[in-house]
Amino acid sequence: MLAWLSDCFWHERLWFPEGLGWADLQDRDGRIYAKAHDLWVTIPLALCFLIVRHIFERVVATPLALLLGVRERVRHRATPNPALEAFFCTVTKHPAQAAVQILSKQAGVSVHQVRRWFRRRRNQDRPSKLKKFREASLITAMQVCLLTGILLSSQKPWFYDLNEMWKGFPTLTLLPSQYWYYMIELSFYISLLFSVASDVKRKDFKEQIVHHVATIMLIGFSWCLNFIRAGTLIMLLHDASDYLLESAKMFNYAGWRKTCNYIFILFAAVFFITQQCCHGSPHSWAPPGAIMYCTWVYPVTIYPPFFGYYFFNGLMLILQCLHIFWAVLILRMAIKFLPGNIVEDERSDKEETDESEEEEEEEEQGKLENGPVSNGHSALNNNHCKTE
């Protein structure tokens, strides 16, 4: 049964256009080609990344955070209360006013104390600023792969003329630099998938999971299909802006507001150029429009479509949809930035304070006593910008 499933999975008609097969990728005459079994090395490499991450966070990231002035806010822990804890874990973390009043009677405390308890309990589940700084600094450091990709690709003819991407397919000779770029990049994304349970969870958590899985499948599939040149450029584009975003987060956590804003502007520009530029001739380096043209349109002029062609481009479309989703978030952040406000990551949950709760209650009480305020503006504006 397993042998039959293996034969079906590796059937040549799924992986290659008609007339080509695995025999074309056998090493000969000193020419080496990508092999599916090469990908097994990414599992131990991913585990090594996790070990390196553990060491990096304690030896490098933590001292760097202290050097840049990352300060933790003192958090008050919620006092143990079985009734409130049960409601928090099983029903909702944000109870409505009616539920607050019922819980107040059940727990034998005031409504104000119930609200404060839930606020403090929610803060307990939020990651600390130091933890978020560590994660951002690690991803920034790992994007050194981008420099490898640039050095690898910029000297190749298919970096400038994307028609060269398919010249000689599928017998595209594997270079040692391409091998290590693929293995390191794939191992890095596998390690991110392994550590997702302990990483900072943001509002786009599900989208991040889909992105990591699709990226891993795209890298692995392009390796087996010998879409090495296309895969190298795609990885390069996807990594082109990540380190800028993580760097902006680092300075945001450290309180360097202007530096954070400037880096964010640069990140937004690079992101929209590399991920959302959908125009350009296939003879020019204009991603991802040119990249998607050369993976979707140009190949069918060379060989008839096959399953691998559709599967590869399907993964490309999934990633592009995710990039559009994130582009909307970035645009919303950019609009908030225009008046000179502090740039905040909209995906992150904001930490709550007891003082802010009291201000909100006082403002609500004032509205009840004074009636509606003209033009929809409150009499006092005590809201201050918060960072993560």
Hey, what amino acid is at 92? T
* Rg of the Cα atoms in the chain: 26
213 and 274 assigned to the same domain: yes
114 and 158 assigned to the same domain: no
The model's confidence at residue 386, banded by pLDDT at 50, 70 and 90, is very low
- Kindly state whether residue 96 falls inside one of the protein's structural domains: yes
The model's confidence at residue 219, banded by pLDDT at 50, 70 and 90, is very high
165 and 61 assigned to the same domain: yes
- Kindly state whether residue 351 falls inside one of the protein's structural domains: no
Segment 338-355 mean pLDDT: 53
210 and 302 assigned to the same domain: yes
198: left (phi over 0), alpha (psi -120 to 50) or beta: alpha
Q: What is the pLDDT of residue 301?
A: 79
The model's confidence at residue 43, banded by pLDDT at 50, 70 and 90, is very high
Whether the per-residue pLDDT at 369 is higher than 50: the answer is no
Q: Which of 139, 241, 145, 150 lies closest to 200 in space, CA to CA?
A: 139
- Kindly state whether residue 327 falls inside one of the protein's structural domains: yes
Q: What is the pLDDT of residue 373?
A: 40
Question: To the nearest whole percent, how much of the chain has pLDDT over 90?
Answer: 5
57 and 146 assigned to the same domain: yes
pLDDT in tens, 46-70: 999 899 888 988 888 888 888 888 8
Q: Which of 348, 346, 342, 354 lies closest to 386 in space, CA to CA?
A: 342
Segment 116-143 mean pLDDT: 82
**Poorest-confidence range of 71-75, 225-229, 352-356?**
352-356
Q: Where in the sequence is the domain holding 197, given as residue range(s)? A: 31-68+128-338
191 and 225 assigned to the same domain: yes
Higher pLDDT: 161 or 176? It is 176
The model's confidence at residue 151, banded by pLDDT at 50, 70 and 90, is low
91 and 203 assigned to the same domain: no
Higher pLDDT: 79 or 190? It is 190
pTM above 0.85, yes or no: no
Segment 374-378 mean pLDDT: 39
**Poorest-confidence range of 297-306, 310-319, 369-378?**
369-378
Total structural domains in the chain? Answer: 2
Whether the per-residue pLDDT at 279 is higher than 50: the answer is no
114 and 237 assigned to the same domain: no
230 and 248 assigned to the same domain: yes
Segment 180-189 mean pLDDT: 88
- Kindly state whether residue 371 falls inside one of the protein's structural domains: no
51 and 134 assigned to the same domain: yes
- Kindly state whether residue 9 falls inside one of the protein's structural domains: no
Q: What is the pLDDT of residue 150?
A: 65
**Poorest-confidence range of 8-17, 80-89, 113-122?**
8-17
Whether the per-residue pLDDT at 170 is higher than 80: the answer is no
Segment 263-292 mean pLDDT: 66
Whether the per-residue pLDDT at 272 is higher than 90: the answer is no
- Kindly state whether residue 242 falls inside one of the protein's structural domains: yes
Distance CA 167, CA 294 (A): 12
Average pLDDT over all residues of the chain:
76
Whether the per-residue pLDDT at 145 is higher than 70: the answer is no
Distance CA 266, CA 322 (A): 20
pLDDT in tens, 320-336: 888 888 888 888 887 77
Say which CATH number the domain at 102 has.
Answer: 1.10.10.60
The model's confidence at residue 376, banded by pLDDT at 50, 70 and 90, is very low
Given 296, 319, 338, the domain boundary residue is 338
The model's confidence at residue 345, banded by pLDDT at 50, 70 and 90, is low
Whether the per-residue pLDDT at 365 is higher than 50: the answer is no
294 and 205 assigned to the same domain: yes
Segment 244-267 mean pLDDT: 87
- Kindly state whether residue 310 falls inside one of the protein's structural domains: yes
Whether the per-residue pLDDT at 199 is higher than 80: the answer is no
- Kindly state whether residue 190 falls inside one of the protein's structural domains: yes
Q: What is the pLDDT of residue 116?
A: 87
Q: What is the pLDDT of residue 350?
A: 55
Whether the per-residue pLDDT at 242 is higher than 90: the answer is no
Given 300, 316, 338, the domain boundary residue is 338
3-state secondary structure the chain: CHHHHHHHHCCHHHHCCCCCCHHHHCCECCECCCCHHHHHHHHHHHHHHHHHHHHHHHHHHHHHHHHHCCCCCCCCCCCCCHHHHHHHHHCCCCCCHHHHHHHHHHHCCCHHHHHHHHHHHHHHHCCCHHHHHHHHHHHHHHCHHHHHHHHHHCCCHHHCCHHHHHCCCCCCCCCHHHHHHHHHHHHHHHHHHHCCCCCCCCCCHHHHHHHHHHHHHHHHHHHHCCCHHHHHHHHHHHHCCHHHHHHHHHHHHHCCHHHHHHHHHHHHHHHHHHHHCCCCCCCCCCCCHHHHHHHHCHHHHCCCCCHHHHHHHHHHHHHHHHHHHHHHHHHHHHHHHCCCCCCCCCCCCCCCCHHHHHHHHHHHHHHHHHCCCHHHCCCCCCCCCCCC
88 and 108 assigned to the same domain: yes
Q: What is the pLDDT of residue 363?
A: 42
